[in-house]
Structure 1
Amino acid sequence: MLGTTVCLAIVISLIIGFSQMFFRKKWDPRSQHCYVTGGSSGTGLALAILLTKKGADVSIVARNEERLQKALAELEKVRQTPNQILKAYSFSVDTESGATAALDAACEAHGGQSPDATFLCAGKSTPGYFVEQDEASLRQGMDETYWAQAFSALAAAKHMVRQRSKGKIVFVSSVLGYMSIIGYSPYSPGKFAIRGLAETLQSEMMLYGIDVHICFPCTIFTPSYVEENRIKPKVTLKIEETDSGDTPETVAAGILRGVQKGRFHITYNFLGDVFRASTCGSSPRNSYFIDLVYGLIGYIALPIWRLTVDSTVRSFRQEHQEHLAGTGFLDPAAAKK
C-alpha cells in the first residue's frame, strides 16, 4: 500500500512538473514597470540592470543620492528602447511613510499606476556576538533587514489592491532565513521574519491575484560584504571560509528566473536547493520529485555539517573569553570563583 502511494505521488509530481514546464506562461518583464528597492548597489543594481536589458521600465530606490545617480547611469547604458522609463528616487524605506512616499513617487511617472513587479532588495548585515548587542543595535538589525522590505511590501500591496491591479511582490531573504549560525543575531531574525511575512502573503494575496515570491541567496560578493567581514567575528569567518559565494549578477539572474517560472521559494544553486527542500514545510514545492531528492540529501548531510559548525564554535571558546575580557565585558570577580 505504501509503495503504491509513493508511486502515485511520483507520477502526480511528474505530471505537475511537465504541465508547469510546457503550459505555464513565462512572465516577461518587457514594458512592465519594475520597482527595485536597494537598487543603487549589489543585487538590487544587478537586478535593475538585468530588467532594463529585458526591456522593462525600471524605478530604483535607495538612500544615497550619489550612488543612485551612478546606478541610473548604468541603467541608461543598457537601455533597449527610447521609450523605456528609467528613474531613481532617494528615500529611506524602513518606515511606512518613507516606503509609501517612495512608491508614490515612482508611480507618478506611470500615471499613478502600481508597479507590475516590486523587487525588495534593500537590506544590510551588521554581524556580531549576541551578548555585545543592545536594544539599539537589535532594533537597527530589524530595520535593516525586515522593516526595509516589509513596509515597501505593505505600500505595494495597498496600492495594487486599491487599484484592483495584479502584480508581483518579490522578497529577498537569505539562506540565513532557513538556518543560522554564530554571529548573525542582529541579521538572521529579520531574514526569518521576511520569510514569515512572505508565507503569509503568498496565501493572502491570492484574494487579489497578486503573486508573491521570496529568494534565499547564499553569500553574495559585494562591497558591503567586504565591509561586513571587517567586523564579523573570527569564528564566523572560519565557518564561512569554504563558502564559494555568488556575484550579484548570478543572484539577480536566479531571482528573475525563479519569478519567470512562477516559483514561490527561489533558490538557484545546490546548497540553496538542499536547505529549501529540507525546511520548506507546507510551502509550495518547486518540484515534488526533485525536492524529495534534495530533502534526502539534506536529511543526511546537514546534521553532519552542523556537527562541524558546532565543533568549530567550541574550539573558539578560549579565544572568545579572552576577547570578552579584553573589552571589559566580563565581571572580574567572577574569575575568582
Structure 2
Amino acid sequence: MSAWYTVLIVLGSILVVGVIGEIVLRATARKFDPKNKHCYITGGSTGLGKAVAIELAKRGAHITIVARRLEELNKAKTEIESHCTSNCQKVICISSDCTDHDSTVKALDEAIEKHGKVPEYVFTCAGASYPGLFIEQSVDVFEKNMKLNYFGTLYTVHQAVNKMVGSNIKGNVVLVGSTLSMLGLIGYSQYTPTKFAIRGLAESLRNELKAYGINVSVYFPGTILSPGFETENLTKPQITKDIEGADSGLSPEQCAKALIKGLSRGEVAITSDIISLLFRVSSRGMMPTNNFVLDSILAFVAWIAFIPWRWYADSLVVNYGKSMLSNN
C-alpha cells in the first residue's frame, strides 16, 4: 500500500508541476494580439505565408505580403482581403526578391510608407527545398538554397529589427524553420544546413533581442502540402521517400493555425506534429520549454524511440548503397 501511495504522490507532484508550468507560460507570455498591427510576411503569395496572412486578417491585422511573382501576389491579396473583419484593414502586396539585400530593404521601406508604420510582427515564410543526392548535385544548388532559406530570412529580419529598434517598437519576429532544423537525412544535404542555420539564428536572437523588448519565435513544421512540396517531390530520391514513409503532412491552413496557436500560448519553439515535437524536446538547446514536465517526459520517450528509428534509416541507406553498386 505504501508503494502505491508513493507512486500516487510522485504522479500527483508531476501533474502539479506540469500545471504550474502551463500557468507560468501563459502568465509570462506577451499577449498575441495582431489587431490593428502591421504584419509583414515574406513568401506571402502561396502556401504557409498566405495561410498565415489569412489567419492574421481574421484577427484584424494590417497585412503586407512579399514575394516575387506579382500575379500570384495580387490573387493572394484578393483572397486575404476577403477574410478581413473590418473595412479599415489594409492589405498590400510587394514584389521583391528576398535573396537580394537591396530589394529586401526597398520592400520593407515601401511597406512602412504605405502602412504608415513599422511592422510589429514579421513572419519569414519564404523558402524552398531542392532534394537530391549530395554527390550528384551541383554546388550551385547548395548556394541557391542557402541564399534563399537563410540569407532570405536574415536580410528581412535584420532590416525589420533595425526599424523596430529605431522606432522603439517592442515587436515580434517569427522565423520558419523545419523538422529538418533538428535532424539530417539523405537527400536533404542542400536543405537541412539552411534550416539548422535558421534555428541557430532564432536561438541567438531570442536572447539578444530581449535587450530591446523584441520577442523571437521559431516554427518547425513537418511536411506542408503546398505547391512547393509538389515541386520538391520531383527531384526527391526514392530512398528519401522510403525513409520518410507515408507522411500525410498538413495543409498550409492547418500549419498556420498551429503557428498562431503556439504564439497565443507564448511558445518560443512551435511545432504542429508529433515527430517535430519529439525532435524539439530532445534537442532544444537553449530554447525555453513549452511545459517543463511534458517536454521532459517526451524527451525521454524520444531518446529511446529514436534509437531503433536511426538504425532503420541507416540500414535502408546501406542497402540502397549495395543495390547501387550491384546495378553498376
- Report the TM-score when normalising by structure 2: 0.92
Displacement of 1:99 in angstroms is: 1.5
Displacement of 1:20 in angstroms is: 3.0
Counterparts of 1:210 and 1:51, CA distance in 2: 19
SS at 2:39 equivalent: strand
Matched, 1:124 2:133: no
Displacement of 1:316 in angstroms is: 1.1
- CA distance 1:27–1:320, shift in 2 (3 Å): same
Segment of structure 1 superposing worse, 75-84 or 166-175: 75-84
Counterparts of 2:30 and 2:180, CA distance in 1: 31
Matched, 1:17 2:22: yes
SS at 1:132 equivalent: coil
Counterparts of 1:42 and 1:288, CA distance in 2: 32
SS at 2:34 equivalent: coil
1:206 to 206, 210, 224: 210
Counterparts of 1:219 and 1:27, CA distance in 2: 26
Unaligned residue ranges in structure 1 (runs of 5+):
326-337
Displacement of 1:306 in angstroms is: 1.1
Matched, 1:229 2:257: no
Amino acid at match of 1:151: Y
Partner residue, 1:247: 251
Contact 2:64/2:111 (8 A) holds in 1: yes
- CA distance 1:322–1:96, shift in 2 (3 Å): farther
Partner residue, 2:5: none
Unaligned residue ranges in structure 2 (runs of 5+):
1-8
2:289 to 264, 285, 288: 285
Matched, 1:92 2:90: no
- CA distance 1:312–1:54, shift in 2 (3 Å): same
Partner residue, 1:334: none
Segment of structure 1 superposing worse, 313-322 or 41-50: 313-322
1:108 to 96, 110, 113: 113
2:195 to 167, 170, 191: 191
Amino acid at match of 1:115: P
- CA distance 1:69–1:216, shift in 2 (3 Å): same
Counterparts of 1:7 and 1:134, CA distance in 2: 56
Amino acid at match of 2:73: L
SS at 2:173 equivalent: strand
Provide the alpha-carbon RMSD of the alignment: 2.2
Contact 2:122/2:160 (8 A) holds in 1: yes
Contact 1:10/1:288 (8 A) holds in 2: no
Counterparts of 2:14 and 2:163, CA distance in 1: 40
Segment of structure 1 superposing worse, 4-13 or 164-173: 4-13
Partner residue, 2:3: none
Matched, 1:43 2:48: yes
| Higher relative contact order (CA closer than 8 Å, sequence separation 6+) | 2
SS at 1:215 equivalent: strand
Counterparts of 1:104 and 1:177, CA distance in 2: 30
Contact 2:25/2:290 (8 A) holds in 1: no
Partner residue, 1:74: 79
Aligned length: 321
1:251-330 superposed matches below 5 A: 251-321=255-325
Deviations 1:211-261 (A, max 9, x none): 000000001111111111111111011112321211101111111111122
Counterparts of 2:326 and 2:112, CA distance in 1: 54
Identity, % of aligned positions: 37
Partner residue, 2:4: none
- Report the TM-score when normalising by structure 1: 0.90
Counterparts of 1:146 and 1:196, CA distance in 2: 10
Partner residue, 1:54: 59
Counterparts of 1:225 and 1:322, CA distance in 2: 32
